[in-house]
Structure 1
Amino acid sequence: MGEDELLNTLEDLGEEDFTKFKWFLQQPDSLQGFPSIRRGRLQTTNCWDTVDLMVQTYRLPGAVEVTRKVLEKIHRNDLVQRLSESSSGAEGQSQEEET
């Protein structure tokens, strides 16, 4: 799982869902175990800037986990599923191709 998968996931959000996504990143109590990101840092960010901020704040594994949590909160379980498949499915696919 890399930053490019996170970017692809955020790019699949509509404008309203992306705004909600960033709102949850700003809420101190919404991401148990993870710090919030200040509103001023997120206010004018686009998808790739948001991914960069999340990786800087949470490191890559944390950014993936935070993305999953927020996607669940905004009821985008389709993207949660796809994110889970891309993070665990890459290894499985290469093993399946060899068989």
Structure 2
Amino acid sequence: MQVPQLILDTLDELCANDFKRFLWNLTQPVLDGCQPLRKGHLENADRQDTMGKMIDSYGEESAVNITIQILKRINHNNAAEKLKKAYAGGSTAGQPNPGTPPSSASSSSGVAPPAGSSVCAQGRSVIVAPHIDGSSAGVSINMNINTQ
């Protein structure tokens, strides 16, 4: 299943009050390196708008990790675990090949993404990429850069 659909299905399971709490948490620090969304960007946002803003701002992997962390904060641990398993076990678009070695970067989310960690930056931020030594046949490195 595609990441946007996974997140949307998860948000659809939240009642109105829990969705409101989810939105509030998006305006607070959740993961290191990912800036909270502005309150004005979420004003009158429905679940589909929220999912879109998260993916546009953070990318798919970080959007999933942020969703999982917020679900845990609002005591929806079962939904967090379900999303984590669906993301790790699914065939999502943009996911590296199974043979790709994990990144040496670390994430504060505590969630192990299927192919390593991600880094998120906004505005005029700078990301210092890891130095990669050596090369071996059949190993590929995938890098996605969103400039939105």
**TM-score of the superposed pair, with normalisation by structure 2:** 0.57
Distance 1:17 1:8 in 2: 14
Distance 2:45 2:8 in 1: 13
Identity, % of aligned positions: 30
Cα RMSD after superposing both structures: 1.3
Number of the residue aligned with 2:15? 14
**Does the 8 A contact of 2:21 with 2:74 survive in 1?**
yes
Distance 1:60 1:71 in 2: 16
1:6-58 C-alpha deviation (Å, 9 max, x unpaired): 0000000000000000001012x344331111101101000000000000100
**Does the 8 A contact of 1:25 with 1:31 survive in 2?**
no
Distance 1:60 1:88 in 2: 13
| 2:60 is the alignment partner of 1:69 | no
Number of the residue aligned with 2:103? none
**Does the 8 A contact of 2:8 with 2:48 survive in 1?**
yes
Which of the pair has the greater relative contact order for Cα pairs under 8 Å at 6+ separation? 1
**TM-score of the superposed pair, with normalisation by structure 1:** 0.84
Number of paired residues? Answer: 90
Segments of structure 1 that go 5 or more residues without pairing to the other structure are 92-99
Q: Larger helix proportion, structure 1 or 2?
A: 1
Number of the residue aligned with 2:87? 87
For residues 30 and 85 of structure 1, do their structure 2 counterparts lie closer, same or farther at Cα, with a shift above 3 Å needed?
closer
For residues 65 and 30 of structure 1, do their structure 2 counterparts lie closer, same or farther at Cα, with a shift above 3 Å needed?
closer
Segments of structure 2 that go 5 or more residues without pairing to the other structure are 92-148
